[in-house]
Amino acid sequence: MAATITDVAKVAGVSKATVSKFLNGTHYVSQETRERIAAAISELDYAPNRVAQGLSLKRSHTIGLVVANIGNPFYAELIRGAEEVAASRGYTLLLASTDGEPKRESTIVNAMRQRQVDGIAFASVRLADREVTALAKDGVKVVLASRNLPDAEVDMVLVDSVKGAKLAVKHLIRHGHKAIAYVSGPLSIAQFQDRLKGWRDALREADIHPSAEHELSLDRMDVEAGYQAGLQLLGLKERPTAIFTATDNLAFGIMKACDELNLTIPDDLALVGFDAVPFGEVSRSPLTSVDGSGLIMGQRALQLLIDRIERDQRAPSDNRQVRMVLQPTLCIRRSCGCQPGTEI
Amino acid sequence: MAATITDVAKVAGVSKATVSKFLNGTHYVSQETRERIAAAISELDYAPNRVAQGLSLKRSHTIGLVVANIGNPFYAELIRGAEEVAASRGYTLLLASTDGEPKRESTIVNAMRQRQVDGIAFASVRLADREVTALAKDGVKVVLASRNLPDAEVDMVLVDSVKGAKLAVKHLIRHGHKAIAYVSGPLSIAQFQDRLKGWRDALREADIHPSAEHELSLDRMDVEAGYQAGLQLLGLKERPTAIFTATDNLAFGIMKACDELNLTIPDDLALVGFDAVPFGEVSRSPLTSVDGSGLIMGQRALQLLIDRIERDQRAPSDNRQVRMVLQPTLCIRRSCGCQPGTEI
DNA sequence: ATGAAAGCGCTAACAC
DNA sequence: GTGTTAGCGCTTTCAT
């Protein structure tokens, strides 16, 4: 149905090779034949078949993006950023979501490799450091977005989680809180470890010793999980007066729990999240949150990845690993107890 | 680097053709050679190159999904549904977002065609009916998800918007409201026209004659747009006591406006949205909304599309167009004025 | 400056 | 049952 390079060549009265050269500007083509080819192309409405091109060139101009859960607004933002730079640089995204299942993850990686993606961006890794490193060694260009595998030898972009958590907790302390709980995502994820550390450090520096019951780690990070955690925490004898959560979704769940228990935020409970998803602006109580910039992370990750892919074209096996760490800021709204105009 | 079918053939001591036959189960292969091939495959860790396969078969097992804006949770849900069935049926998704720009849309379509996608699912079309029809005639399998192009001859799955809107407005009327405004997305989109019609019909049936000022149509559908609309509507002398919005995002914006004006939902203003995105559960006021089921729409759309793609393999050019229309339900929370336990 | 030919990895007749 | 061959649409030496 669609025209091929052979059709164009025929119509223009030249060889496929010449058309190809014209198309890629790789060799000189005389003014006259250039015009004939151009005419043929527009006459036939020809567009190169990227699949064939890919087979020949061994480059698909396609990048795999794997996220844990598209429904989580943090990933949605990240995808948005990724898609934006991919498109602007002539790549398209193959999207897949793991739903947190490690098994799905390797299935996905295989599927992507078979499709000859030029690289893979992971916004979700359950794979071990060594598996990721193995991938990279195997020639697959990899970048980690918002995930920290300390020992994996691949590029990554992440937010300084320790610092972010300290920002959050110190802010809560400044509001006068002492009983500040931490609700975490899976501790197998380094970023959540870091946030835990930030929480601990901030408390220690203020000479506060948290009750063991106030440190909770969940294995999911959806609203429902946060809700359960909220119920648990708020049912304690020693009830926390403030909670810091590892992600906004978890904070939203806590809001739901407060709702049910007729607790008011921030009066009965102060709350600070992590990610600063846009939606926090219109959540039950406007959510104060550490800005992890999903959007920017998605953008940077793809830039890094594409840079590496294209660099590798001419200077194969360049091994400088880059770890880009973004500085977090606190996005202050009202769930922390601040009043408009009188932020502290 | 990666092993090819030729390598496998060599190691197994057979021809490529035989390996291919084994792989696709398309011809009989003797028990013995089957074992030799299997051994070779696992020894070499071979996986077929889908690009080469695609070139030969003219099928990429890839489907393009184009949405307006990934950041909108409605689309996020739709993508989730789409990804789920695509993956389960062995396809992967090429994702692109238009940001509402019609120009980006045709760029995207071209890019996807060059990549030989087996079909395209549009969750966003600014293209005219005839362009979409042209695409279909041109052999591209197309499905519309949550978009209604009345004259396009392609499959579509959508929610009954007229009915959904009536559900919403009647509910508001039952709550005693008479001054019920409608905040719409772009009226160039048929679904929003339908929601407008539903609003009008419901009012007319109740013998209510809406003020012209209470019908607002926006050209974007983000929270910010809703916020502006809210400010405008709530600044009116004849202030509405209830608002029905064409999408949840718009409703969230209105909540923000209420916040700023110190208006309480549902006491000062009742609100009903459309889409029932999960987040409505934890929005400023739990949002009552027409359930448009983004998730289901994404699933169904991909099923339809894949069915058509695969059907077309054996019975080319089957032209029965299918329009699947989902029945909306009202997801009652609290922004409409209902109390837990006493829904009306 | 242009063309002929081989090759990318796979499938599909058609022989044997 | 299995192998030979040609071909999918493109790029790329290597000649000319």
Chain B touched by A52 (CB under 8 Å): yes
**Residue range B303-322: average pLDDT?**
84
Q: What is the predicted pLDDT for the residue at B4?
A: 97
Name the minimum distance, in Å, from the CA of B195 to any CA of chain A: 24
Using 50, 70 and 90 to split pLDDT, how confident is the model at B340?
confident
Instruction: Name the closest residue on chain A to residue B139, using Cα atoms.
Output: A1
Q: Which nucleotide is nearest to A114 (CA to C1')?
A: C9
**Residue range B42-63: average pLDDT?**
97
Contact B270, B335 (CB under 8 A): yes
Compare CB distances from B252 to A115, A253, A282 and report the shortest one's residue: A282
- Strand, coil or helix: A248: helix
Residues B80-116 have pLDDT tens digits of 999 999 999 999 999 999 987 888 999 999 999 999 9
User: What tokens does B157 get?
Assistant: 């799955």
Q: What count of other Cβ atoms lies within 10 Å of the Cβ of residue A155?
A: 24
B204, pLDDT greater than 90? yes
Q: What is the predicted pLDDT for the residue at B99?
A: 85
B317, pLDDT greater than 70? no
Q: Is the CB of A329 under 7 A from strand C?
A: no
Protein-proximal positions, strand D, CB < 7 A: 1-13
Which residues 24-43 of chain B have a CB under 7 Å from nucleic chain C?
24, 26
Question: Looking at this protein, which amino acid is placed at residue A194?
Answer: D
Chain A residues in contact with B73 by the CB 8 A cut-off are 71, 73, 76, 279
Cα(B217)–Cα(A321) distance, rounded to whole angstroms? 51
Asked if B60's CB is within 8 angstroms of A55's CB, the reply is no
Residues A298-307 have pLDDT tens digits of 999 999 999 9
Q: What is the predicted pLDDT for the residue at A315?
A: 67
DSSP string spanning A22-59?
Answer: HHHT-S---HHHHHHHHHHHHHHT----HHHHHHHHT-
Protein-proximal positions, strand C, CB < 7 A: 1-13
**Is A232 exposed, middle or buried, given 0-12, 13-18 or 19+ CB atoms closer than 10 A?**
middle
Compare CB distances from B50 to A77, A115, A223 and report the shortest one's residue: A115
A77 Cβ contact partners less than 8 Å away, ≥ 6 residues apart: A277, A278, A294, A295, A298, B71
Nearest to B155 by CA among B318, B327, B329, B328: B318
Angle at A51 between CA A50 and CA A54, to 5 degrees: 80
Q: What is the predicted pLDDT for the residue at A100?
A: 77
A89 Cβ contact partners less than 8 Å away, ≥ 6 residues apart: A302, A306
Compare CB distances from B71 to A80, A96, A113 and report the shortest one's residue: A80
Q: Is the CB of A235 under 7 A from strand C?
A: no
Chain B touched by A339 (CB under 8 Å): no
Q: What is the predicted pLDDT for the residue at B315?
A: 66
**Residue range B13-38: average pLDDT?**
95
B142, pLDDT greater than 70? yes
- Strand, coil or helix: A262: coil
Interface test with B, best of A92, A108, A334 (most B CBs within 10 A): A92
Compare CB distances from B77 to A71, A112, A282 and report the shortest one's residue: A71
A198, pLDDT greater than 80? yes
Question: Looking at this protein, which amino acid is placed at residue B276?
Answer: A
User: Closest protein residue to D11 using CA and C1' atoms?
Assistant: A56
* Interatomic distance A92 CA / C12 C1' (Å): 31
Chain B residues in contact with A255 by the CB 8 A cut-off are 282
A125, pLDDT greater than 80? no
B37 Cβ contact partners less than 8 Å away, ≥ 6 residues apart: B8, B12, B14, B18, B19, B22, B29
Cα(B317)–Cα(B314) distance, rounded to whole angstroms? 9
Chain A residues in contact with B279 by the CB 8 A cut-off are 73, 252, 279
Residues B320-335 have pLDDT tens digits of 899 999 999 999 999 9
Chain A touched by B88 (CB under 8 Å): no
Q: Which nucleotide is nearest to B51 (CA to C1')?
A: C9
